[in-house]
Amino acid sequence: GLIKVYLIFWPKSEQNLLRTDVVTVTPWLAPIVWESTFDPVLMDAIFKPQNLTIAATVFAVGKYVQFLKDFLKTSEQFFFIGFNVHIYVFTDRPNDVPKVQLVSVRVVQSSQRWQEISARRMEMVHTLLLELSDSTHFIFCLDVDSKFHGRWGSESLGELVAVVHPGYYGNPRSRFPFERRTKSRAYMAPSDGDFYYCGGAFGGSVDQVLALTQTCSKNYRDDEKEGVEAAWQEESHLNRYFWENKPSKVLSPEYLWQDFKPRNPEIRIIRFSGVIKNYAAIRPNV
Ligand SMILES: CC(=O)N[C@H]1[C@@H](OP(=O)(O)OP(=O)(O)OC[C@H]2O[C@@H](n3ccc(=O)[nH]c3=O)[C@H](O)[C@@H]2O)O[C@H](CO)[C@H](O)[C@@H]1O
Ligand SMILES: [Mn+2]
């Protein structure tokens, strides 16, 4: 009797599975994943027998192909080790894609504007997912200008998964860079919003990400027809989507840090991080 009650309150190692310095659950009871809130061995023991296939999409258009080598190399070290992983690389320079197993290359058009390259990812991911729905269980859509530095695994799986943007999580909600103009379909009122999520990493089940990419790409296109481009392109539409459709799991900024930022004390591990880059040298426009 007593010992079982004790175990319910203090599973396994009480020091390890407890974080009191950060918020670990949302007001709609979705977990927020931080180091030491989960047991990686236990998570893998639950998910590995399910024989899941995990897809990741990454766009490397124009000069961004230079980031592929490190992205792919580090994904082999840290991303869903021991799972069936398939990476889909979208590029206009297929000959520059490093030869790595389980990578598929899809040729896409470039654009004169980085904003369009970034924003059009949504509809291309949507098209891909229509083909993958039978063979793939979960998908993550990731920025290419980044490297893995630590485990990113089964603890991140969920129906609809958002990553808290590393740049704003200490700010009051009113300072989140949501789209504030009512003429955009990404509009968020001053009191709206839970977290500010990043466009550089999100995911979920194939069905959920199909719905997300359909809505976000349609809203981006419909805005475009009216001459409107949201403040942070698809990231703005993504944030509006997650406001209306709450993520079932939220990943902490451990899952997308930025190399130029000093590591805050609550960040005990950096799993994935954007590299420092010279925007003027690599983007088609500034
Ligand atoms: C940390 C984070 O969440 N970053 C977001 C932020 O970007 P960043 O400043 O990190 O944007 P970025 O330059 O990495 O562009 C986003 C992604 O688009 C692709 N790309 C872009 C330009 C190009 O010439 N070729 C190319 O392939 C590439 O996969 C890149 O990783 O703002 C962007 C604005 O829309 C996106 O929301 C990014 O996801
Ligand atoms: Mn990026």
**H helical segments located in the chain:** 2-9, 40-47, 68-78, 114-119, 121-132, 206-225, 233-244, 279-282
Tell how far the Cα of 46 is from the centroid of ligand 2, in angstroms. Answer: 32
Q: Is 198 in the pocket of ligand 1 (CB under 6 A)?
A: yes
Q: Residue 180 and residue 191: Cα distance in Å, rounded?
A: 11
Q: Please report where in the chains the tokens 């027809």 appear, as a residue.
A: 225
- What is the dotted CATH code of the domain comprising 12-282? 3.90.550.10
Q: Are strands 272-274 and 257-258 parallel, antiparallel or unpaired?
A: parallel
The whole-chain average pLDDT of the chain stands at 93
Tell how far the Cα of 201 is from the centroid of ligand 1, in angstroms. Answer: 10
The amino acid that residue 55 corresponds to is A
Catalytic residue flag (residue 229):
no
Beta strand extents in 143-266 (DSSP E only): 146-148, 160-164, 197-205, 249-251, 257-258
Q: Residue 4 and residue 240: Cα distance in Å, rounded?
A: 43
Q: Is 62 in the pocket of ligand 1 (CB under 6 A)?
A: yes
* Catalytic position from the list 35, 235, 254, 266: 235
* ipTM of predicted complex: 0.95
Cα 58–chain centre separation = 11
pLDDT in tens, 69-108: 999 999 999 999 999 999 999 999 999 999 887 899 999 9
Whether residue 3 is predicted with pLDDT greater than 70 in this model: the reply is: no
DSSP per residue, 79-110: BSTTSEEEEEEEES-GGGS---TTEEEEE---
Q: Is 200 in the pocket of ligand 1 (CB under 6 A)?
A: yes
